[in-house]
């Protein structure tokens, strides 16, 4: 075979995996947005069949040989080397888990998720506990199958943050907690701002139109994407040319639709921005979930909750909601969408306390998987720590330990990526400000320059460069909480007169 | 292996094929209804990858062995025997066509389709001819690869009407033509009815709501299906529990939406009606396209264009289109939606002349594939025969031989299934009337009894019984044109006072 044939043989298999991934993406999107209720069962079977085929083709020894042969070629580009590296990583992970184990895990996830849903109706943690215990036993087993020289938690974390290690993450997040708890406390001691302006009944169709207007301004390409509605907003799609955002509309809470749309738009802009040379490859992807999340949070929070954003969009919002926002100014809007509160529910919390919700979960899941804490003890520890970090005592386990779906789905190592996203987003703002007048651009609605900066620094690279390294290059900083704390202090210091 | 294991090994592969077929169905539906324009190219690649995998798994010798082993089991049910028969038929067809040939054919189809689209803008048949010639050479080659003891046309027809032979179809359709040409002539000599009532501007949202109301009445199950819009209406979906109709809305032509919806609903009711024991099998399908088409035409034409239909629905239509239909009665509506005319375009024609459009195409495609007519001679023969059958001379090839997409897609043997559908639908009406007061039920909007009859006689059987045999059992008649001509004479004799 010529070098070209050798690369072609590898690329054909890589493209196949990419295409199957795109199709699985469509199945998932359709299930949440389109599929009639009666079709769900057939859909689950179709998805399982396709996932099994994709897995078989991934672990096929011939794919491994094609990777090895291509890896032996001289003169590969940096992108090609990265494609091979990612292909090998995916295969290695997949081959470490026996098919029978994968099936057992999938079944237990499904059972645990059902138990979780049921327990949320009864309110009894005891209805959830046995299934979660069994799932955690399997997650320990999975970690032991996957782990190299790191800890069990490292093995699971690596799925979401390749290359990240607990020994680095733990001190980083402990430092963040040490700074954030007193900072949040100072704000929570101040009088709470009035948010009633956001609770007026806003016409759903007008909310949707407003969100679409904002997405268009931010640069989302509707020739290569769309926005629909779903119960839980998410970004799906099948390829960088077919990115599908979803949002939800709550008539009496204006931020629900707007910020879901802007958040998902951040994800969507990122995926639409991968260089065309990466499409259909293993690196037309995020190098880490934290990096992906940095894009959504940059748009939702850093930009979307800024004073400049409301200086630009309040007049636009008034056109969409005639007469409903005449008695508020831009600062009033910002104050309302930046309210900090002792909310028990993570997804309803704010930029300041959000990470405390995450830190609590991170600490608990590390102890769970390292078997230092038993599932049975979760509610008590959860509630005690909520009181310690946020000064709030959950009134039951539904607004306590049973509020999130993640653990019931077997996601361990996922939560910290949210906080990494926040840390990265603040680092990006700091770096962007060295090149651009960010506030001025937002105030003028000139989002093109911001997108161009992100495209160049982040989006186009896909997973060619590992996440932390790419962020170091883009921000000029090592990962840490300085930029994020500075960002919070600037915004919330002003808003709360600290 | 036990008998149960043997059946299970076959069933697993059959389920896999069914699931992949469902996923391919979703890809196709999404492409026409949802996919943003920029995503089409990625979608085509994803579809090709999935189709290639499905083909590989179908021709896998291990599937053949699993079929043989299951076939050797004693005590199989009629349904199980049928599943094996269909699995074998699908495999046999697939294994007869070498992969390289399938790829060549697919590429030429794509090229020919592009040439067709281009030629429709230039109006020059010469821009289409070379690509169509090459495609027809490949279709001859395909027929030779597939054919057993029948003709080339038989080999291609078998894809759509398993078991049908040219030697039976030709006299059948010649007989129909001999009866239909003079009958159509008599009607075309009468004054044309006024259709202006259908051309008033009808609010698109109200048209959609009206169509949904009718579908609900007819019995379409929206828990297991939905209706969306697309340029060309079709019935898609992923499983009998997830059937997706599409319609289109023309503001100034009321029948466009209504009858597209009702037509596709006929297809959809059929697919929703397959017995649950057939789901995920090779026989949760139509035994022939003609039979499938009989269901859509039964609803669209036999029921949907009846006087009883408008006696029931005119008041409902008036609610949806206030003030717009006050000056017309049920008979006036029926007259308008049953107008017979010398239209050059098949899809805009009527129940009476429709089959003449089909017969023309059937005769030409038989001669093409048997190489008695050259592609270059098509326009001339087409136009001459249009004049002979319909008394109309196409003003150019765009409203002549280039009007349909079928040949450019390589579909040879497809057109006659439309006429078979018409013949079957009239046979079903005749049989149904022996058991039910069909007109009375329609007039009362009591469609449940009609659906129940069709479920029992047709829908639930899927492809367990071959199409012609199933229709013989349901109608008590051999396939022929008597019932259809009697139906036309009854309806159009009354409307046109013959």
Q: Tens digit of pLDDT for each residue in A164-191? A: 999 999 999 999 999 999 999 999 999 9
Closest partner residue to A223 (CB to CB) among B27, B38, B225 is B38
Q: Is the dihedral of CA B326, B327, B330, B335 positive or negative?
A: negative
What does the H/E/C string look like for chain B? CCHHHHHHHHHHHHHHHHHHHHHHHHHHHHHHHCCCHHHHHHHHHHHHHHHHHHHHHHHCHHHHHHHHHHHCCCCCCHHHHHHHHHHHHHHHHHHHCCHHHHHHHHHHHHHHHHHHHHHHHHCCHHHCHHHHHHHHHHHHHHHHHHCCCCCHHHHHHCCCCCCCCHHHHHHHHHHHHHHHHHHHHHHHCCCCCCCHHHCCCCCHHHHHHHHHHHHHHHCCCHHHEEEEECCCCCEEEEECCEEEEEECCCCCCHHHHHHHHHHHHHHHHHHHCCCHHHCCCCCCCCCCHHHHHHHHHHHHHHHCCCHHHHHHHHHHHHHHCCCCCCCCCHHHHHHHHCCCCCCCCHHHCCCCCHHHHHHHHHHHHHHHHCCCCCHHHHHHHHHHHHHHHHCCCCCCCCCCCCCCCCHHHCCCCCHHHHHHHHHHHHHHHHHHHHHCCHHHHHHHCCCHHHHHHHHHHCHHHCCCCCHHHHHHHHHCCCCCCHHHHHHHHHHHHHHHCC
Q: Where are the domains of chain B?
A: 3-157, 196-342+416-496
| Cβ neighbours of B36 in A, within 8 Å | 222-226, 241-242
* A17, closest residue in chain B (CA to CA): B49
Give the pLDDT confidence score for residue A10 in this predicted structure.
98
Q: Please say if the pLDDT value at position A297 is more than 90.
A: yes
Share of chain A above pLDDT 90, in %: 96
Q: Given B161, B264, B351, B430, which residue is catalytic?
A: B264
Who among B57, B224, B280 is closest to A39 (CB)? B224
Q: Which whole number is the average pLDDT over A261-271?
A: 98
- By CB atoms closer than 10 A (0-12, 13-18, 19+), residue A224 is buried
Taking all residues of chain A, what is their mean pLDDT, rounded to a whole number? 96
Question: Would the pLDDT of A199 be above 80?
Answer: yes
pLDDT value, residue B2: 85
Set of chain A residues whose Cβ sits within 8 Å of the Cβ of B46: 19-20, 22-23, 26, 238-239
Query: In the sheet that A235-239 helps form, which strands lie side by side, from edge to edge?
Result: A225-229, A242-247, A235-239
Q: How confident is the model at residue B39, as a pLDDT?
A: 95
Mean pLDDT value across chain B? 96
CB contact under 8 A, A38 and B226: no
- Chain segment B176-186, per-residue pLDDT in tens: 999 999 999 99
Q: Check if A45 contacts B (Cβ < 8 Å).
A: yes
Q: Which of B16, B41, B241 sits opposite A41 (nearest CB)?
A: B241
Q: Which residue of B has its CA nearest to A46?
A: B19
Q: What predicted TM-score, i.e. pTM, was given to this entire model?
A: 0.94
Given an 8 Å threshold on Cβ–Cβ distance, is B26 in contact with A22?
no
- Residues A36, B242: C-beta atoms closer than 8 Å: yes
pLDDT for residue B451 = 98
Tens of pLDDT, residue by residue over A78-88, are 999 999 999 99
CB contact under 8 Å between B226 and A34, yes or no, is: yes
Mean pLDDT on A273-279: 98
Dihedral of alpha carbons B365, B371, B372, B378, sign = positive
Rounded Cα distance, B484 and B146, in Å? 33
- Give the mean model confidence (pLDDT) for residues A160-164: 95
ipTM score: 0.93
pLDDT of the residue at A99: 84
Q: Which of B11, B21, B23, B47 to probe the A interface (max A CBs under 10 A)? A: B23
Q: What angle do CA A158, A161, A163 make, to 5 degrees?
A: 65
Inter-chain residue contact A221 with B27, CB threshold 8 Å: no
Contact: B39, A279; criterion CB under 8 Å: no
Supply the pLDDT for residue B371.
Answer: 95
* Residue A60 touches partner B, C-beta closer than 8 Å: no
- Model pLDDT, residue B99: 84
Interchain CB distance below 8 Å, B280 and A45: yes
pLDDT of residue B433: 98
Q: For B225, which residue in chain A has the nearest alpha carbon? A: A36
- Residues of A with CB below 8 A from B37's CB? 223
Is it the case that residue A1 has pLDDT exceeding 80?
Answer: no
Task: Say whether residue A101 is in contact with chain B using an 8 A CB cutoff.
Answer: no
CA distance B213 to B202: 16
The reply to whether B363 belongs to the active site is no
A35/B contact by beta carbon, under 8 A: yes
B222/A279 Cβ within 8 A: no
Contact A222 B36 (CB under 8 A): yes
- Residues 262..281 of B with a Cβ closer than 8 Å to A: which? 279-280
Question: Any chain A CB within 8 A of the CB of B44?
Answer: no
pLDDT recorded at residue B95: 95
Residue range A331-354: mean pLDDT, rounded: 95
Residues of A in contact with B20 (CB under 8 A): 46, 49-50, 53
Choose the mutation target among A19, A30, A32, A216 for the interface with B, i.e. most B CBs under 10 Å.
A19
Q: State whether B22 and A15 contact (CB < 8 Å).
A: no
Determine which of A45, A58, A230 to mutate to test the interface with B (most B C-beta atoms within 10 Å).
A45
Residue A30: its chain B contacts at CB < 8 A? 26, 30
Q: In this complex, how many residue pairs, one in chain A and one in chain B, have their CB atoms less than 8 Å apart?
A: 123
As a whole-number percent, the residues of chain B with pLDDT over 90 amount to 96
Cross-strand pairs, B244: B226, B236
Cross-chain residue pair B239–A53, CB shorter than 8 Å: no
Cβ neighbours of B27 in A, within 8 Å:
23, 26
Interface test with A, best of B12, B27, B46, B57 (most A CBs within 10 A): B46
- Is A16 in the B-facing interface, judged by CB distances under 8 Å? yes
Report residues of chain B scoring pLDDT below 70. Answer: none
The pLDDT, as a whole number, for residue A135 is: 97
Give A 208-247 residues with CB within 8 A of chain B. Answer: 221-226, 237-242
Pairwise CA distance, residues B246 & B229, whole Å? 5
What residues in A contact B226, CB-CB < 8 Å? Answer: 34, 36
* Tokens encoding A253: 């809470």
A20/chain B closest Cα distance in angstroms? 7
Indicate the residue of A43, A222, A238 with minimum beta-carbon distance to B46: A238
Do residues A481 and A355 touch, judged by C-beta distance below 8 A?
no
Q: Which residue of A has its CA nearest to B13?
A: A49
Shortest Cα–Cα distance, A146 to chain B (Å)? 29
Chain CA centroid to CA B254, Å: 22
Per CATH, the number for B3-157 is: 1.20.58
Looking at the complex, does the CB of residue B49 fall below 8 Å from at least one CB of chain A? Answer: yes
Give the count of beta carbons closer than 10 Å to the beta carbon of residue A322.
10
Q: Write phi, then psi, for A471 (nearest 5 degrees).
A: -70, -35
**Would you please indicate which residues of A are annotated as catalytic (active-site) residues?**
264
Indicate yes or no: CB of B239 within 8 angstroms of CB of A280.
no
pLDDT band of residue A148 (cuts 50, 70, 90) is confident
Nearest to A42 among B16, B36, B239 (CB): B239
Distance of CA A207 to the CA centre of its chain: 24
**Is CATH 2.60.40.10 correct for B196-342+416-496?**
no
pLDDT beyond 80 at A89: yes
């Amino acid at each position: 075979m010529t070098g070209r044939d050798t690369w072609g043989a590898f690329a054909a298999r890589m493209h196949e995996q990419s295409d199957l991934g795109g199709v699985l993406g469509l199945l998932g999107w359709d299930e949440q947005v389109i599929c009639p209720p009666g079709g769900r069962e057939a859909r689950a079977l179709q998805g399982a069949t396709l996932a099994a085929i994709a897995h078989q083709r991934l672990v096929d020894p011939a794919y491994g040989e094609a990777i090895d042969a291509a890896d032996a070629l001289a003169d590969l580009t940096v992108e090609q080397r990265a494609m091979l590296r990612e292909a090998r990583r995916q295969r290695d992970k997949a081959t470490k888990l026996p098919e029978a184990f994968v099936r057992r895990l999938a079944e237990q996830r499904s059972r645990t998720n059902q138990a979780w849903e049921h327990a949320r109706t009864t309110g009894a943690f005891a209805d959830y506990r046995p299934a979660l215990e069994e799932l955690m036993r399997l997650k320990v087993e999975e970690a032991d199958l996957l782990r190299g020289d790191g800890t069990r938690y490292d093995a699971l974390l690596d799925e979401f943050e390749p290359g990240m290690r607990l020994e680095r993450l733990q001190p980083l997040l402990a430092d963040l907690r040490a700074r954030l708890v007193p900072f949040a406390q100072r704000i929570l001691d101040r009088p709470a701002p009035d948010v009633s302006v956001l609770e007026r009944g806003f016409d759903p169709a007008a909310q949707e139109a407003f969100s679409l207007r904002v997405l268009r301004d931010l640069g989302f390409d509707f020739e290569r994407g769309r926005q629909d509605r779903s119960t839980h907003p998410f970004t799906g799609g099948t390829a960088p040319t077919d990115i599908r955002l979803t949002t939800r509309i709550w008539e009496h809470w204006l931020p629900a639709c707007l910020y879901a749309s802007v958040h998902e738009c951040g994800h969507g802009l990122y995926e639409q921005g991968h260089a065309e040379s990466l499409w259909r490859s293993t690196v037309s992807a995020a190098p880490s979930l934290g990096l992906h999340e940095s894009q959504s949070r940059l748009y939702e929070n850093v930009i979307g909750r800024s004073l400049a954003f409301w200086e630009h969009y309040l007049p636009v919002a008034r056109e969409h909601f005639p007469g409903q926002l005449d008695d508020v100014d831009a600062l009033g809007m910002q104050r309302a969408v930046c309210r900090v509160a002792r909310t028990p529910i993570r997804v309803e919390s704010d930029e300041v306390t959000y990470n405390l919700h995450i830190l609590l979960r991170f600490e608990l899941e590390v102890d769970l998987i390292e078997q230092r804490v038993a599932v049975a003890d979760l509610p008590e520890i959860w509630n005690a720590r909520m009181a310690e970090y946020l000064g709030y005592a959950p009134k039951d386990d539904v607004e306590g330990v049973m509020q999130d779906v993640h653990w019931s789905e077997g996601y361990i190592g996922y939560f910290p990526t949210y906080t990494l996203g926040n840390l990265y987003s603040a680092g990006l703002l700091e770096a962007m400000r060295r090149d651009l007048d960010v506030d001025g651009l937002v105030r003028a609605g000139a989002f093109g320059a911001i997108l161009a900066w992100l495209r160049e620094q982040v989006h186009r690279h896909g997973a060619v460069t590992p996440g932390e390294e790419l962020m170091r290059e883009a921000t000029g900083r090592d990962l840490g909480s300085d930029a994020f704390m500075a960002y919070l202090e600037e915004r919330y210091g002003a808003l709360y007169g600290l």
